[in-house]
Each structure stands twice: as C-alpha cells, then as structure tokens.
C-alpha cells in the first residue's frame, strides 16, 4: 500500500500533557527504563481540533452522545413538528447507539458530521423508519467527514457504518529516561490583611509534571484514503488538501492540558517524512531502546543522530525504498507539504 510516515522529534518543557487516573503524567517502561508518554488518543484530539480550525469545510466531524439534539434540530428544519422531531430523533438515536436515561443522549459516542445528520433526517422523512434511514449512511463519506475517514468510526449497532481509520498513531514516548517531578504551589488570599492572625497561604498543594524530548510517529494509508469507503468521492485536489492539512496539524498541534498554568506548546525540532509505494508503515522507536544520554550535545541532537542511524540500518538490512524523503529543518514546512502532496492518490 502507498503510505506516508511521519517521524517526529519534539522537545516539550515543563508540562503535564496527558494525565493518568491519579493526575500524574502518563509514563511507560521501554528499554527497561521509565519514559514520559502521551497517548495517541490525547494527541489525536488536539490534531482533530486544529484540522477543524484550518479547514472546517472538510473537517466537521463531531464525536458525541448528544446526537438526539442534532437530529431533532435537523428534523424541524425539514418541516417536522416539535413533537414529531423529538420522536423521530429518539428513534434514530436508538438504532445508532441505544437511548440512555434520560433519552436526551445515546449510550455510546457517535462520530458524525453535519452532512450525515442532514442525510439521516432526510432519509427518515422519506422512509418513516429509523433502521431504513440508517442505511442511507455507510455508502460513502460526505465531503465534510474527512476526520472520520482519517481516524475511523466504530458503530456496534450497525457494522456497515464502521469506518477503518486511514491514519495510524503510536503513543509518543521520550527518547530518554524520565522521572516525574512534583511542583509545590501556594495561593495567596488577596484580601487577607498582613496583620491577620491567620498567617500563611490560603491554599497549598502539589502538581506532578515532567519534561521530555518525544519521539512521535504517525502514518497515513494513502490508498485507503482514496477508496470508496473513505474519500473516493472527493477530487484529487481535495484529497491533496486533506492530506496536507492532516500533516500540518499532526506536526503543529499540542495537547492543551494545563495550557494556562504550564504552557508547553512547541514545534518539532526534527521531522522525517517518508512516502513509500509498498509495505506497511514502520516506526523507528527502537532507535531509543537504549535511552539517549548526552550532557554535552543535548537530547534533540543525539536523538536525531540515533533516528537517522536506525533508518539507515533498516533501509540497508531490509531493502526498503522510498518514493520521497523530506526533512525539517532541512526544508520548510511549506516545501514538505508540497512534496508530500505530489504522492497523494
């Protein structure tokens, strides 16, 4: 399959981009040492939000349990009464993901777009049957559902609506050993007088954080993206724009956790973009199975050297070839997007 690979090195300062159930930055053991980790789901949400901001015409997907309200509003727009729209929306919601209690939402998140909601409403008006109306979806994704084509959709109640995502992500992990640290903070009461008997801070506490140079990996199945189940209805130029928006957002989006108190948005220090005609995407995380340690040159430079060495070894050992290889900062983002766009199916 023709596919795109993105190998990204990004240094993040003091932050807690992705928390576990105890509020601590997520970690993983790799190469028998602890690493900082950001889950793929966390980074994908940031990417989806940035794609929607960049190109809302193609990226209007919404993951929600509140689909009843969307359907009810759309049914009213096509001349259903208030009561008829409410009943119809609940029937459609029940076949999409089973009604919850109260019946203002469904039990499972549904990934959809405005065009799909409109199609569902119009199909229900014609068929007067929710199950038959649902069959109006699943043939081909509309123009505003590129994010569904990229990230996929699971619908347990009707597998014909399930879409395999054309994009693939690994969890981001640090290229080096990382230990979480504690930040002790104190809040002052602005209205308490200096001679008050109640001395000290109004509130104290601790927050966990870390800092790391991350190896991030994402890939895109270009053949799948162009098939009838995904974005085959778009023109080649439209798919090219979708891919370029995806690449740009993947490189520039940063999860927004603790955005105000630990602002940590940076841009990648190094990007290796590869387009290959055959085979499957191969990540280069094993470059860091032995963690990076370089007190003189810093982590980014040594991480790049190890990444390039791993890629060279894989190419030589396994005979892997590429249609194109692009590197930032050796070239600009605009030049990389233009080169990648040449290989969109």
- The DSSP symbol for 137 reads S
- C-alpha span between 61 and 162 (Å, rounded): 14
> Any idea which residue has 């220090």 for tokens?
269
**27 alpha carbon, distance to own chain's centre:** 19
Return the SS3 of 243: helix
Inter-CA distances, 286 with 30, 303, 332, Å: 9, 12, 27
| pLDDT per residue as tens digits for the range 302-326 | 999 999 999 999 999 999 999 999 9
Strand bridging mode 270-276 / 27-30: unpaired
Residue 45 · residue 297 · CB < 8 Å: no
Locate 65 and state its tokens: 């349990």
- At residue 286, the pLDDT reads 98
Q: Where are the beta strands (DSSP E) in 39-166?
A: 62-64, 110-112
Locate 279 and state its tokens: 């085979």
- C-alpha span between 249 and 270 (Å, rounded): 15
DSSP readout, 140-195? ---TTBHHHHHH-B--TT-GGG-B--SEEEPPEEESS----EEEEEEE--TTS-TT
Residue from 250, 81, 78 nearest 151 by CA: 250
- C-alpha span between 65 and 280 (Å, rounded): 34
- C-alpha span between 305 and 317 (Å, rounded): 18
Mean pLDDT, to the nearest integer, of 281-288? 98
- At residue 201, the pLDDT reads 80
Mean pLDDT, to the nearest integer, of 278-298? 93
| pLDDT per residue as tens digits for the range 141-187 | 999 999 999 999 998 878 888 999 999 999 999 999 999 999 888 88
Residue from 41, 94, 89, 40 nearest 63 by CA: 41
- C-alpha span between 267 and 251 (Å, rounded): 7
For residue 297, pLDDT beyond 90: no
For residue 39, pLDDT beyond 80: yes
Residue 299 · residue 213 · CB < 8 Å: yes
Residue from 261, 259, 222 nearest 239 by CA: 222
| pLDDT per residue as tens digits for the range 69-86 | 999 999 999 999 999 999
pLDDT band at 299 (very low <50, low <70, confident <90, very high): very high
Residue from 25, 27, 36, 35 nearest 290 by CA: 35
| pLDDT per residue as tens digits for the range 6-19 | 999 999 999 999 99
Task: Annotate 99-118 with b (16+ C-beta within 10 A) or e (fewer).
Answer: beeeebbbeebbbbbeebbb
Locate 39 and state its tokens: 């889950």
Residue 102 · residue 111 · CB < 8 Å: no
- At residue 190, the pLDDT reads 83
Inter-CA distances, 243 with 187, 276, 313, Å: 46, 15, 29
pLDDT band at 66 (very low <50, low <70, confident <90, very high): very high
| pLDDT per residue as tens digits for the range 180-223 | 999 888 888 888 777 666 767 888 888 899 999 999 999 999 99
- At residue 204, the pLDDT reads 86
The 10 Å Cβ neighbour count of residue 85 is 20
Locate 8 and state its tokens: 């990204």
Most confident of 13-22, 152-161, 230-239, 289-298: 230-239
- At residue 148, the pLDDT reads 97
pTM of the model: 0.93
Residue from 170, 188, 217, 178 nearest 14 by CA: 178
Residue from 186, 183, 182 nearest 204 by CA: 186
Residue 9 · residue 269 · CB < 8 Å: yes
In this predicted model, which residue has the larger pLDDT, 328 or 104? 328
């Amino acid at each position: 399959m023709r596919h795109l690979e993105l190998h990204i090195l990004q240094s993040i300062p003091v932050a807690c981009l992705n928390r576990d159930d105890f509020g601590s930055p997520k970690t993983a053991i790799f190469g028998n040492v602890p690493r900082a980790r950001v889950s793929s789901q966390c980074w994908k949400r940031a990417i989806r939000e940035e794609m929607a901001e960049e190109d809302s015409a193609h990226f209007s997907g919404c993951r929600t349990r509140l689909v009843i309200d969307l359907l009810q509003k759309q049914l009213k727009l096509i001349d259903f009464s208030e009561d008829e729209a409410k009943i119809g929306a609940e029937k459609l919601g029940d076949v999409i993901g089973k009604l919850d209690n109260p019946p203002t939402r469904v039990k499972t998140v549904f990934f959809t777009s405005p065009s799909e909601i409109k199609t569902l409403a119009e199909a229900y008006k014609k068929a007067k049957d929710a199950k038959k109306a649902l069959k109006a979806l699943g043939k081909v994704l509309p123009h505003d559902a590129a994010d569904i084509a990229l990230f996929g959709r699971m619908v347990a109640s009707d597998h014909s609506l399930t879409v395999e995502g054309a994009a693939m992500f690994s969890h981001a992990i640090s290229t080096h050993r990382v230990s979480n640290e504690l930040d002790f903070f104190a809040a002052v009461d602005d209205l308490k007088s200096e001679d008050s008997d109640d001395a000290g801070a109004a509130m104290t506490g601790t927050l966990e954080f870390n800092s790391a140079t991350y190896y991030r990996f994402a890939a895109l199945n270009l053949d799948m993206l162009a098939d009838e189940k995904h974005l085959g209805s778009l023109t080649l130029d439209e798919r090219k724009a979708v891919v370029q928006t995806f690449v740009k957002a993947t490189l520039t989006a940063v999860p927004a956790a603790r955005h105000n108190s630990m602002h940590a948005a940076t841009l990648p220090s190094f990007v290796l973009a590869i387009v290959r005609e055959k085979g499957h995407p191969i990540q280069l995380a094993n470059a860091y199975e032995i963690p990076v340690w370089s007190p003189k040159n810093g982590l980014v430079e040594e991480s790049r050297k190890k990444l390039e060495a791993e890629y060279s070894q894989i190419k030589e050992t396994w005979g892997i070839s590429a249609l194109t290889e692009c590197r930032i900062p050796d070239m600009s983002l605009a030049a990389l997007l233009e080169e990648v766009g040449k290989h969109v199916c």
